Amino acid sequence: MKKSAVYITIFILALLLTNCKDEYIGQFPVDKNNPQPVKNVVVENLPGKVKISYELPDEKDLLYVQGTCKLSSGVEKIAKTSVFSNSMIIEGFGKSEKMTLRLIAVDRSQNKSTPVDIEIEPLDSPIYEIFNQMKVIPSFGGLKISWSNPEKIDLMVGVLKQNKATGELDYVENFYSSLMQGIGTVRGQDSIRSLFAIYIRDTYMNYTDTLFLELQPFFEEEIPKNNFIAFSIPTYFKVYNSNSVLKKIWDGNVTDETNYNFFYIRPGNTMMPYFTFDLGITAKLS
């Protein structure tokens, strides 16, 4: 009886191990005939990318065309395009450099054609021109960064500041944008001349150089609210109740909503609501 139990256990384990193998997804090979390679390849070098056009081979079971190239950094880029297109775009290049792109046609049996090697030289990524034209000026409590992004690529503008105690660069803020005209404003900085460092990165982890510059943010402080004076609200503006008065805007309470404990104008007014109050001081607003 014990031997039978052992045999059954071994059989079950063998069955489980057999079923644990990864199942193949896709069509199983039906032949070993390699497809013909693509031909009449045309290269169009673009900023940060390259467009490859070609003539597909006359193969009934052709599945896709694969393009591969290796950057000087060792990073390999791979792109695949189905038989419904005769071109591909490979993106994510940084600084312009010559490299070899290898094109291979693959059929449904996973047979590969002889490779076609072509030379490509994508133009510099747009981030470098954006960086060169970037403008940085001191602002209230910090600095203001502006840049032009005509191709609307996704980018990140990173801001660092030198720690005067350690000499290291500390993180300040990152701005993410794909706008044609981008603006980033750093706030909360003391009005002390400091060394800032600014760089740009794209989504493919390409980095520009770093711009180092010393700036002194404009002095900024909050206007005391105890001197604010509320002017009368026009009588035709519908407020929620008598507790809904203008000074609720600056009373420091941002959480208590009991009985509409904030300035609330009802909808349905005959004109756009507006209100006025006196700051109680002469000041330049930032």
Each residue of 81-121: pLDDT tens digit?
Answer: 999 999 999 999 999 999 999 999 999 999 999 999 999 99
Specify which residues 212 forms β-bridges with: 197
Contact predicate 38/56, CB 8 Å: yes
Query: What confidence tens digit (pLDDT) does each residue in 53-68 have?
Result: 999 999 999 999 999 9
Residues of the chain with pLDDT below 50 are none
Q: In what order do the strands lie in the sheet containing 87-91?
A: 39-46, 49-55, 87-91
Specify which residues 104 forms β-bridges with: 66
pLDDT at 245: 86
Write down the pTM of the prediction.
0.73
CA distance 205 to 150: 20
CA distance 83 to 65: 7
CA distance 89 to 78: 10
